[in-house]
Amino acid sequence: MEIKVLKKVMSANDAVAEEITGFFNEKGIFAVNLMGSPGSGKTTMLEKTIEMLLPDYNIAVVEGDITTTIDAKKLSRFPVKIAQVNTLPFGGECHLEASWIKDAVREFDLETIDFLFIENIGNLVCPAEFKTGAHKNILVLSLPEGEDKPLKYPLAFQVSHLVLLSKVDLIDVLEYDVEKAEENIEKVHPGIDKIQVSSKTGKGIQDWKAWLTEQRKLLFDN
């Protein structure tokens, strides 16, 4: 009985996700869902991303958090549209659901947006289970989390299209084994795109921009 209910909730979410993907397609909005552990560097990466895409593109952001508007406030220095989704009124859920994103984007003038970034709730479990309607899922995996996380949280990697291996400026201090981490990512999602990035040094940021603009071009041919 419980399983039936869960399936119903999931398929309802999938239906809304599909609906909003169609809507994004119609409007020419390339939507990207950023997932990752708390503190993996999602918001900082978003700041760098916005800096490099402005002024050529119009950008909107949906910030997801259980509570607070801390990340949205950080981004408010940019000329971008921001909507905050707090899940506390929805029972403090640890993921964003498609219907909340659908409501959030109603805040924007959708005709003008080129990129929509969704910062999902920080964790490697629930966000992987709920589609957001975004075209691409990006997993931000930071070095301090350790090389084994792909093996421990495989679904998050399996539903993603790109892994941003973040905070690579810390390789030496953490004695991090990048090869091992990439090998573990390959084990759970063979062939997935990977880019090493650092918001501190700027490493990989241009490659990330190239990936984003190329993917958008592939979808909308502009």
Ligand X SMILES: Nc1nc2c(ncn2[C@@H]2O[C@H](COP(=O)(O)OP(=O)(O)O)[C@@H](O)[C@H]2O)c(=O)[nH]1
Q: Applying CB under 6 A, which residues contact ligand X?
A: 36, 38-44, 122, 166-167, 169-170, 198-200
The entry of ligand X, Mg ion, none that residue 39 binds, CB within 5 to 8 Å by partner kind? ligand X
Compare residues 13 and 196 and give the one whose CB is closer to ligand X.
Answer: 196
Residue 203 Cβ vs ligand X, minimum distance, rounded to whole Å: 8
Residue closest to Mg ion (Cβ): 43
| Residue list 68-97, contact with Mg ion (CB under 5 A) | 71
Compare residues 34 and 188 and give the one whose CB is closer to Mg ion.
Answer: 34
Does 145 bind Mg ion (CB under 5 A)? Our answer is no
Residues 70 and 84: beta-carbon distance below 8 Å: no
DSSP secondary structure code for residue 80 in this structure: S
Output the CA–CA distances (angstroms, integers) from residue 174 to 49, 92, 147, 180, in the order listed: 25, 33, 11, 14
Residue 167 Cβ vs ligand X, minimum distance, rounded to whole Å: 4
Q: Which of 125, 99, 114, 140 is nearest to 56 (CA)?
A: 114
Question: What is the CA angle 162-164-168, rounded to 5?
Answer: 155
Residue 4 Cβ vs ligand X, minimum distance, rounded to whole Å: 35
Does 43 bind Mg ion (CB under 5 A)? Our answer is yes
Output the CA–CA distances (angstroms, integers) from residue 28 to 63, 122, 138, in the order listed: 21, 28, 19
Run of H or E residues at 194? strand 193-196
Residue 74 Cβ vs ligand X, minimum distance, rounded to whole Å: 8
The entry of ligand X, Mg ion, none that residue 167 binds, CB within 5 to 8 Å by partner kind? ligand X
The entry of Mg ion, ligand X, none that residue 36 binds, CB within 5 to 8 Å by partner kind? ligand X
Q: How far apart are CA 140 and CA 165, in angstroms?
A: 6
Residue 103 Cβ vs ligand X, minimum distance, rounded to whole Å: 22
